[in-house]
Amino acid sequence: MKADLALYGGERAIAPGSMKPWPPVDEADRELVLASLESTEHSFGPNCRAFQEEFAAWNGNRFAITTNSGTAALHMGVAACGCGAGDEVIVPAYSWSSSVTCVLQHNAIPVFVDIDFDTMLVDPARIEAAITPNTKAILVVHLHGLMVDMERIMDIARRHGLRVIEDCCQAHGATFKGRQCGTWGDCAAFSCNQNKLLCSGEGGMFVTDDEALYRDAQALWSFGETRSPVEERDYHAYALGWMYRNNDLTAAFGRGQLRKLDGHLAQIEENANALHEGLLGTPGLILPTVPANCRHNWYNYVVRFDMEALGHAHAPGRYRDRLLEAFRAEGAEVGVWQRFILPAMTVFQARNAYGNGCPWGCPHARPVRYAPEDYPVAARHCDTHACIIMALRPPNGPGLAEATARAIRKVMDNVNHIELDEAVA
């Protein structure tokens, strides 16, 4: 009944204060961070070096460089793979903005490819049509913690002589055919931002097995110098360079959280399974698909609404937002992750990242089309999706996931009472 919904004054499904904050911080984290604080090395210090070594060992990489953000690590990958003026990098039409602005940061040109609706990832079947003589690399995004079919990606890249950069910023611990993300392509980037499954507040990690790429990425990371901060430096900039290094306090926190990461991943998987079981058969919902050869890390649990079945195909985004109001009224934290497809971003519609039309105005660049209507699958996903994040994170257990599922089902079972433009008393 309409009166049962909290949106109309009914009782909430989830009591206030039920959700505990992420990430869990314990005495081991405090000891590492306080020891760093009380030391004399607060910039790139011993915790940074240890964090790199420990992460490389955990993920199975030869080399790792700790950075001040996942975005920095992505830019390092673009630069290390030799992408520059006029070069094109294939990217998905739906992701976070950093997945494509990192290409612009090195004066290269993003070329968008639509996504596969079921997986929400770049559609490998559409990639070869986007390859031109200017294409230098494919940047794949393991979005929401699910890996792209990397066998197909690597086959395409090998046949066309292209580099592959993995955006693993949301994908710590995700696997494809039993192999970790960040170990398939030429190089990869991880984020350790507040929301990530390996959280150090801010920060990131660049990884590779290729020593030449490692050296080139390291140069960009430290002012364009060819020697790292732990080596004897001559302070010459030999190429374009930024200051992307991490600091010791942040790395100390990251080390503490890395030691707990496997346990966190196991708890999140248990919580996601409880949520999924609770949502099975819910009318109007399209639940996430996980291919049999993938391990999802459930950074985001993403549902889509069947707007045809719900009778709101004419205004999917607006009705989705109305449903979110109802979920939140019940106490369920359900949100929208990204509200626009990337080709619709102002920087691509204006084609003016640096002024004077650059990098598209570069004499080495070819014309590239950025028509949003060319990416209908990404647009459909964008307008119909919602995500559950923090309810799955430790120290929360499956009880909160089950309660979230009940709250969502309560709304969807009474969805015929929720109108698009009604006024709520």
What is the sign of the dihedral through the CA atoms of 172, 31, 19 and 323?
A: negative
Determine which helix (DSSP H) or strand (DSSP E) holds 53, and give its type and residue range: helix 46-59
Q: Residue 421: pLDDT above 80?
A: no
Site of tokens 């070096």: 49
What value does the CA radius of gyration of the chain take, rounded to a whole number of Å? 22
Other C-beta atoms lying within 10 Å of the C-beta of residue 390:
15
The CATH classification of domain 27-260, taken from the options 3.40.640.10, 3.40.50.2000, 3.90.1150.10, 2.60.120.20: 3.40.640.10
- Give the pLDDT mean for 367-390: 97
Q: Tell me: the pLDDT tens digits for 257-290?
A: 999 999 999 999 999 999 999 999 999 999 999 9
169-181: average pLDDT: 98
What is the structure's pLDDT at 226? 65
* Coil vs helix vs strand at 352: coil
Residue 66 · residue 204 · CB < 8 Å: yes
Higher pLDDT, 259 or 230: 259
Q: How confident is the model over 362-380, as a mean pLDDT? A: 95
Neighbours of 421 (CB within 10 A): 8
**Looking at this protein, which amino acid is placed at residue 109?**
I
As given in the structure block, the two tokens for residue 6 are 């909290």
- The whole-chain average pLDDT of the chain stands at 95
Residue 44 near residue 68, CB atoms below 8 Å:
no
- Per-residue pLDDT at 423: 47
pLDDT per residue as tens digits for the range 232-241: 666 666 677 8
Query: What is the rounded average pLDDT of the residues 293-311?
Result: 97
pLDDT band, residue 2 (cuts 50/70/90)? confident
Neighbours of 97 (CB within 10 A): 13
Q: How many other CB atoms are there within 10 angstroms of residue 125's CB atom?
A: 13
Sheet arrangement for strand 385-388:
285-286, 301-305, 385-388
Say if residue 359 is preceded by a cis peptide, omega within 30 of 0: yes
Give tens-digit pLDDT for 64-113.
Answer: 999 999 999 999 999 999 999 999 999 999 999 999 999 999 999 999 99
Query: Which are the contacts of 258, defined by CB distance < 8 A and separation ≥ 6?
Result: 51, 54, 55, 58, 198
Amino acid at 357: G
Distance CA 271, CA 392 (A): 5
pTM exceeding the 0.85 threshold for the entire prediction: yes
Identify the pLDDT of residue 29. 98
Task: Report DSSP state, residue 20.
Answer: P
